[in-house]
Amino acid sequence: MSPRIVFTLAALLAPIVTHATKAIANWDVVPYQRVSEPFNAGVVAFHETGVDVHFRINGETAGVVKEPTLNARTKVWEYWITIDPAKYPDGPLKLEAVAVPEGEGNEKRMLDTMLYANSGKTLGSKEIVWMSPNGDDAADGSEGAPFATFKQAAEAAGDGGTIYLQKGDYKLLSFGKGDQDYWTTISAAPGLDRSDVTIQAYGKDNKVSHGRYGADKIRWHNVSLYCDRESKWGSVFYINKGQCVWFDDVEVYDKNGRFGDTQFINNQGGRIWLTDSVVRDIANVQINFQRNAYYHDILADIFRGSNNLTAINVNIVHMDKGDTAAHPDFIQFYNPKRDVENVILYNVSAYDMFAQGFFGGGRVQDVAFVNVLLEKDPPEASFLSQIGDMSHILIWNVTIVDQSFNFRGAETMDLVYVQNGAYTTLSSAKYDHPGFFVDHCHASKTVYNQPDLMGTNATTGDMVFVNYDADDYRQAPESPAYASGQLPPGVPADIDGVPYDPAAPNRGAFAKANPGGRRPSVPLD
């Protein structure tokens, strides 16, 4: 595959220059899992010239994947291989992936993670113990004689065991177990839904419950986790340095609502993964890895720029600061004293966003915003999307509704690739310097101090959506952004995983074949 470079008019008048940049890539795998059946391990990866991903397992070549396809395990179009644990003795599987950009001179990105082959079922604890709000720590932990506390249950379950919670409300206190090799799962008992099992992390009296439980490698599964604090500026969980936590198929919320100023995590150096979960009624989310997540009724920032931030298949509804002094951003980069690199937001939407969208800049490089929808509400609110002073940023297949997008100080930005987008306005007074590439983007109108459209193959005019009043932002056939785009490399499917028409794709985040229905229905304030 030859390099695919998009040029502004100024760039077309100058000699063609290739630019050496690094692949943007991260694992889409929660590490430390024991796998006893075939397991699809994937990587999300982007580069303006296209990417091949080379996989190794325990130092041996495991395959080269040249194009993303749908991974049924994660529901993500990504680069992936199937690992058969029966081919390996029970024990560690060191996974390595190398994202290699097409073309000469570009820089590959090296990734590694760890799983455990366990087809022989010899690794870790097989214990299953039970808890009940009415249990007794002097009992034996069986279903008929459950324990009362997480501390007792975790000690009995052992490293990698399972704790089943019977129906009811629980209080969380410390049960620190130190370092573990494997995930210990704490889950609602079989047959229960997560609404049947509620766990108070922080309460009004932190002697009764507090979110600093201290245990390593706890997988919270199919439960509801909440705080009920009297003081403001708190968190649902406090995660210590070196502590690993996996929130899987859970619901997390502040019982007092988003204006209680509670953040999801106070992270003091731990590692956190969030999958297939709902987070609601809190001030800030700010998790470094999330996949297949749904956030609603959030006060302020959803994401803040940090190294290797990865958000995949995330749907957000209703950001609103209310009467607070919050300065809400969909994603905020403000890094005057530290470097941030390798950030991916992929298949992410934000509806009813009373907030700025993309915001900030600083010492930031290697960023991919791919298949993103932002809808500002109310439309007349003054919030903008505005970024500046970044290096190597991909802004692909983005739709922004009722919000302007401004490249603030574009002369300080380098290697910015804006392709196949649909915008209300897209502007910057000095975007035409070398290293700033805009192609096949639509802007509904120009701004007062920039009468010309940005980039090559631009279109303008009112975007005609399938149903603006119902927040259905697919392009209608009469829209100038319909069937007039050009896809960037390595993005075969849209924000909902529906394949684009490669010959005549829509501009923006939705494919022509998308049947609609991404925006979830939730009760709003």
Q: Between the CA of residue 520 and those of 279, 346, 365, what are the distances in Å?
A: 14, 18, 33
- Which residue in this structure is represented by tokens 């325990």? 58
Q: CA 379 to CA 358: how far, in whole Å?
A: 16
Predicted confidence (pLDDT) at residue 508 exceeds the cutoff of 80: yes
The pLDDT tens digits of the residues spanning 45-102 come to 999 999 999 999 999 999 999 999 999 999 999 999 999 999 999 999 999 999 999 9
The proportion of the chain whose per-residue pLDDT surpasses 90, expressed as a percent, equals: 79
pLDDT digits 0-9 by tens, 222-261: 999 999 987 777 899 999 999 999 999 999 999 999 988 8
- pLDDT over 60 at 5, yes or no: no
- The pLDDT value given to residue 384: 93
pLDDT in tens, 434-475: 778 999 999 999 887 777 888 899 999 999 999 999 999 999
Give the mean model confidence (pLDDT) for residues 112-131: 98
Reported as a single tens digit per residue, the pLDDT across 250-261 is 999 999 999 888
Give me the pLDDT at residue 260, please: 85
pLDDT for res 14: 33
Task: Dump pLDDT digits (tens) for 126-184.
Answer: 999 999 999 999 999 999 999 999 999 999 999 999 999 999 999 999 998 778 999 99
Which domains, and CATH codes, for the chain? Answer: 9-117 (2.60.40.10), 124-283 (no CATH), 308-525 (no CATH)
Asked if 211 and 236 touch (Cβ cutoff 8 Å), the reply is yes
pLDDT at 6 over 70: no
Mean pLDDT confidence for 367-384? 95
User: What does the DSSP assignment read for 323-354?
Assistant: TS----EEEEEEEEEEEEEEEEEEEEEEEEE-
**Burial track 44-70 (b if 16+ CB lie within 10 A, e otherwise):** bbbbbbbbbbbbebeeeebeebeebeb
User: What integer pLDDT is reported at residue 12 of this predicted model?
Assistant: 34
Nearest to 217 by CA among 279, 286, 157, 272: 272
**Contact by Cβ (8 Å): 415, 391:** yes
How much is the pTM? 0.94
pLDDT tens sequence across 22-46: 999 999 999 999 999 999 999 999 9
Number of other residues whose CB lies within 10 A of the CB of residue 173: 17
Cβ(134)–Cβ(155) below 8 Å: no
Over residues 324-358, the pLDDT tens digits come to 878 899 999 987 667 899 999 999 999 999 999 99
pLDDT given for residue 429 in this prediction = 63
Summary mean pLDDT of the chain: 91
* pLDDT at 2 exceeding the cut of 80: no
Least confident of 13-27, 58-72, 286-300, 301-315: 13-27
- CA 503 vs CA 70, 423, 478, 486, 506: distances in Å: 20, 22, 18, 8, 10
